[in-house]
Structures are given as C-alpha cells and as structure tokens.
Structure 1
Amino acid sequence: MAFTGRRIKGLVAATFTPMTSRSDINLPVIQKYVEYLADEQNVRNIFVNGTTGEGMSLSVQERKTLTEEWIKYSRGKMDNVIVHVGCLSLADSKDLAAHASSCGADGISAIAPSFLKPSNPDALVMHLKEVAAAASNLPFYYYHIPNLTGVKYQMYDLMGKMQKHIPSFRGVKFTDVNLMDYSLCLHEYKTFEVLYGVDEQLLGALACGAHGAVGSTYNYLGSTTNKMLSAFEKGDLHKAQEIQNTVQKFLLFVFDMGWGLPEFKDIMSLYSGIDMGPARLPLRSSLQSEHHNTVKSELKRMDLL
C-alpha cells in the first residue's frame, strides 16, 4: 500500500497522560494540553499512549478513551496523531489498532512484546503484521526501543522484512543511541520515515539525515528544539550545537538527581502550568515540593524558561 498523505516532518511530542491525584486519567486537561503544544511550543504532531504516556500501565479501555479525546481535540490543531497500540497481548493490540482507525487517527505504532519476546525477527514481523492489518488503512510505525523491551534486532535488517510483509508499513520510531543503524536505515529505505527518539542526540540524527523526531522533552522544550532545527537547516551548526548542548546539560542535571519519567511529568506540570498529576504505580515521583524551585532555577539559568 502506498500512502500519499502528508509525511511527518519536525517534532512529535510523546505526550504524558494527565491523571488525577488518585491516578485516574484526567480527560478535561487534554484540550488545554493540545492547545499548549500547538500555540506555545509550535509542535503539531503527537504520539499518544506510548512510553511517556505510561501506555503499558493503562487498561485497554483507558487507552481507547484517551485516544478518542486526543483525536477530538487535535482536529484543526495537530497535523498528525499517532496512536501507540502495542500490548503484551496480540488480541489487545489488534483491538486498539482497529479502534484507533475508527476514531480517525493518522497512524498507529507498536512496540515488540517484551515479556514473552519474539523468538526471532520473523516472528516479530508476523506479530506486527497482524497488528497493522487490524488498521490496514493507517500508516504503521514500528516502535523500536530496545533498552525497555529487550528486543534488540538490528533495524537495518528488520525494516527490509517489514517492508516485504507489512503492506501498511510506513516507518520506525527509532529510540536507540545506535546512530550507525539509524543512518543505514535512513539511506537504505529512503521512502520510509525513520523518526528519531533520543532527544539528547537529535543533532547527531539530523547530521545523519533525520527529518522527524519523537520525544518527551518536546512537550516543554519544543520551541527551544525548533530553534535548533531552524539553525541546522540554515547551516548555522554552531548555534545548533549550542542549543543541543543546553538541552543535554538540563537532562544531565535531571539524570544526576536520579530522576526519570515521573519527575519529567512533574517538570511538564511546572513548565506548562497544566497539572499532569502523578505517575501511576509502579512509578513514583521523588520530586518533592522543595525541589520545584531548584528545577525552575536551573531552567532559568539555562535560558529554557
């Protein structure tokens, strides 16, 4: 199948899932969230129910409800809404894929099963083929995130198999630091989209030829990263390096504190003024109220706030 719709270019925000203090999904926040991304961060593509959205900690029904809300409020604001439908259960993944199609999603994506892992690359492709077939009218993107799934097949080889066996295959969300594998994919499979997913290495991916990127920091550093994209496009490598280095220093500050996804969710709340709520168990934030001013001070010091 040849898709003739718009290609994804630029930044894609991997959205957080807003929750109440009781860790229930907080649907009324989503409209304001979409408006914030479009109007404040100039980000017009979203990837929902993925890692940042705690998708694997949500029920199938919660994921369907969130998909409906994201799509409803993204009309006229977002260019693309890609829905992550990956599950441990193939039946659940197919159910979510069909639902995303019925709601008007612009694409679907799925990770590899990560508990009972595929026994070889061909088994993985067979699994993904069934998921993609449940929404055959939508572009399908494989979500490659080996550090979390433990499924570490080289994408350069895997893309060839998916191209051959999955008619709706459109590309990859490539969340790995292996820029050699990434570059090989870009240059071998030029008609496909290979969206880069490691925010702190985006400039390296741009040098390899990247045209699109999916990441969590684009929720609140989208406007900053867009300046880096603009500088790179204009040939101002020094400016692009400066911006990438600033983002790296902020992320290093966060990582050195021992923080992860729950704290990034808190930072999004601080940055945007939209209450994202807590992360769902088994994740738990260690960002206490006394840390908030530290985070704000660091963002201001780096000219990111």
Structure 2
Amino acid sequence: MDPSAEKKLTGLIAATFTPFTAQGEVNLEEIGPYIDYLTEKQGVNGIFVNGTTGESMSLSVAERKLLAEEWCQKAKGKLDQVIVHVGCLSLKEAKELAAHAAQVGADAIAAMAPFFFKPRTAGALRSFLQEVASAAPTLPFFYYHIPAVTGVTVPARDLLEGIQELIPSFRGVKFSGTDLMDFGQCISSSPPHWSFLYGVDEQLLAGLVMGADGAVGSTYNYAGCHFNQLMSALKDGHVDQARKIQFKMQQVLSYAMKLGFDVGVNKQLMNELSGLNLGAPRLPVTPCPPDAAGLIVKKYHQIFTDC
C-alpha cells in the first residue's frame, strides 16, 4: 500500500495507566471498563499503551505482552487506534515486544530512546530505532521523543534526516518535549503522510497551532472531553475559546504540580475522577499522598463543569 494513502493519526490519544491489583499485580479485568469509560465519557478513541504513564519501565517483558494483548483484544470494535510502546533499554527485548505487538493486532508501535547507555548522536539513535522497527515491518512506527525523561537530547529534527530510507514503516513522532522550534522544524520538513502527535498537555494549543495532527497525553484519560472542546473550538476558528480551555487546564496542572504532581498522583486522580480502580503505582513511584488527590479533584471541579 502507498504510505501516502494511509490515514493520518488525529485527535486525542490517551496514554493509559496500567491497572494493578492491591497486591501490585497487573489487573487485566479493569481494561474493558477502562476502554468504555474513555469512549463513552471522554470521547477518546485512541490509546497509547505501556508508555511513561503506564509505568512501562517498571514492568517485565511478560507483563507488557499481557497488557498489549489485552488492550488490543478489548479495543476491537471500540477504539480507532491502539499504539503499543515497545521501547526498552535492551534492544533484544524491544524487538521482542515489537514482534509481539504485530502478532496481537496493534495498529502501530512506538519506541523511546534507551536512557542508561544513551545514544549520543542522531545516527546512533536512528540505528537503534531501525533495529526495533525491523521486528514489525508491517506496523507504522513512531519515535517517542521525551528528552526530559530519557535525558537523550538529540533534536527530533536531526533524527528525521534520512530516516524514511532506513525505516520504511516510519510514520511520525510522539513529541513530548517543550521545544516548539524543534517541533515546528519536524513538521515543516517532513512528508505530508507522517503524523505528529504532541505530548505536553499543558501546552497542547501551542502544539496544535504549530501543526500537530493530534495529541497523546495522560490527562486525556479524565479530561479528554474538555480537550476535545479545545480542539473543536480551534478548528472552528474560535481561538479565544480554545485559549480559555487551555488556561483552565493550566490552572489545574499548576496547582497539582505544587502538590508534587507525578505518575502516582496522576493515577489517583484518574481513580477518583473516573470511578475505576486502577490501583497504586509500582515502586519506585510512590502512592499519592492521602490529601493531595482530594485537593486537586476539588480544584478540578471548581474550574471545570461536566462536559
């Protein structure tokens, strides 16, 4: 199939939390209700599985396979896109997860840069990603750019130089960085069939104005309906309305950050706002302090009404 004929990724994609039981084991039973909540309550029709929000680097390869298979199976007929993150410190394990994602029906795969032995150049990073993508050559492949977490500061624009020749399945970037100049240069210099997904929720509007096709983020799990309103307002030319919604979310997140916002706090917010039981995070991420989530939920409801 001609790559240019493929459908681009657009809209909101929720970076899913990994459900755990009270004993800290993967809880597959929550995945079906989780998907229903995203589609019915938040209007979110795509997911990014086993990423940062999903605590992928705290999971075993076996657990990541179980989760990928369950998400893909339960999403059939309900979600438009299931992107499985397969990045690992071990190239061998990343390739194993990529091949597995293809087997269980993922729509696409993505990989962040390894961050213990870090690639020092764009060429080294391209070679690593080429090996990962080669294990699932029929799946669209995305680079997951998140320098604040990986410490890999190779500009995404530099990585894209010549990458289509090395990775024929390459289809774009999940750009979870704040450098909008780098993001803009990626978009302005890339073929039109690639998709650029912005990953910094608190400045989504800026990413959209720069040309993002869609967005991947953790807060879309429980605030997706409001971000959908933001995207609709911008599309209809109501920039002031889109800006108001973005400013409201910045108020919530700014307040949360003062209370130590991290994956653990974010996961507890999802539990309380959704009514799902996703459990606590896995160490070294610590559970949310008892009062923090309640205060953030209160602030959220003060700022936002139901969609």
TM-score by length of 1: 0.97
Which SS does the other structure have where 1:151 is aligned? Answer: coil
Partner of 1:39: 40
The code of the aligned residue for 1:273 comes to G
Paired with 2:45 and 2:7, the residues of 1 have a C-alpha distance of 13
> How far did residue 293 of structure 1 move?
3.5
Partner of 2:260: 258
Counterpart-to-counterpart distance in 1, 2:152 and 2:133: 19
**What is the alpha-carbon distance in structure 1 between the residues aligned to residue 140 and residue 294 of structure 2?**
43
* SS class of match (2:254): helix
Q: Which moved more, 1:48-57 or 1:203-212?
A: 203-212
- For 1:31, the aligned partner's letter is G
CA deviation vs aligned residue, 1:166-208 (integer Å, no higher than 9, x gap): 1111101000000111111111113311110000111001111
1:158 pairs with 2:159? yes
Unpaired runs of 5+ in structure 2? none
Q: Output aligned runs, 1:289-300, within 5 Å.
A: 290-300=291-301
Which letter does structure 1 place at the counterpart of 2:83? Answer: I
TM-score by length of 2: 0.96
Find the residue that maps to 1:221 and give its secondary structure. helix
On the 8 A contact 1:17/1:276 being kept in 2, the answer is yes
1:217 equivalent in alignment to 2:193? no
Indicate if the aligned counterparts of 1:195 and 1:213 stay in contact, CA closer than 8 A. Answer: yes
Q: Which amino acid aligns with 1:54?
A: E
Please give the residue correspondences for 1:4-19 in structure 2 after superposition, counting only pairs within 5 Å: 4-19=5-20
Q: Which amino acid aligns with 2:79?
A: M
Matched position secondary structure for 2:184? helix
Which residue in 2 is equivalent to 1:79?
80
> Is 2:197–2:212's contact at 8 Å kept on the other side of the alignment?
yes
Amino acid corresponding to residue 15 of structure 1 in structure 2: T
- Cα gap change, 1:57/1:229 in structure 2, threshold over 3 Å: closer, same or farther? same
Q: Is this contact kept in 1: 2:120–2:152, CA < 8 A? A: no
The 1:304–1:122 alpha-carbon spacing in structure 2 relative to 1, beyond 3 Å, is farther
Q: Report deviation, 1:303.
A: 1.6
Cross-structure match for 1:201: 203
Residues 6 and 193 of structure 2 are in contact (CA less than 8 Å); yes or no, is this contact kept in structure 1? Answer: no
Distance 1:249 1:132, change over 3 A: same
RMSD: 1.2
| Whole-angstrom distance in 2 between the partners of 1:7 and 1:76 | 19
Query: Cα deviation per residue 1:104-148 (whole Å; 9 max; x = unaligned)?
Result: 100000011100111321111111101001000000000000011
Unaligned runs of 5+ in 1: none
Q: Which residue of 1 aligns with 2:119?
A: 118
Q: Does 1:48 align with 2:49?
A: yes
- Sequence identity, in percent? 47
Give, in angstroms, the shift of residue 292 of structure 1. Answer: 4.3
Residue type of the alignment partner of 2:26: I
1:47-86 Cα offsets, whole Å, 9 max, x none, are 0000000001000000000001000110011101000000
Shift of 1:11: 0.5
Contact map agreement 1:15 1:48 (CA 8 A) in 2: yes
Match of 1:188 in 2: 189
Contact 2:200 2:217 in 1 (8 A): yes
**Secondary structure of the equivalent of 1:36?**
helix
Corresponding residue SS for 1:109? strand
Q: Offset of 1:87 from its aligned partner? A: 0.4
Number of residues paired by the alignment? 304
Hey, what does 2:289 align to over in structure 1? 287
In structure 2, what is the equivalent of residue 234 of structure 1? Answer: 236
| Amino acid of the structure 2 residue aligned with 1:169 | F
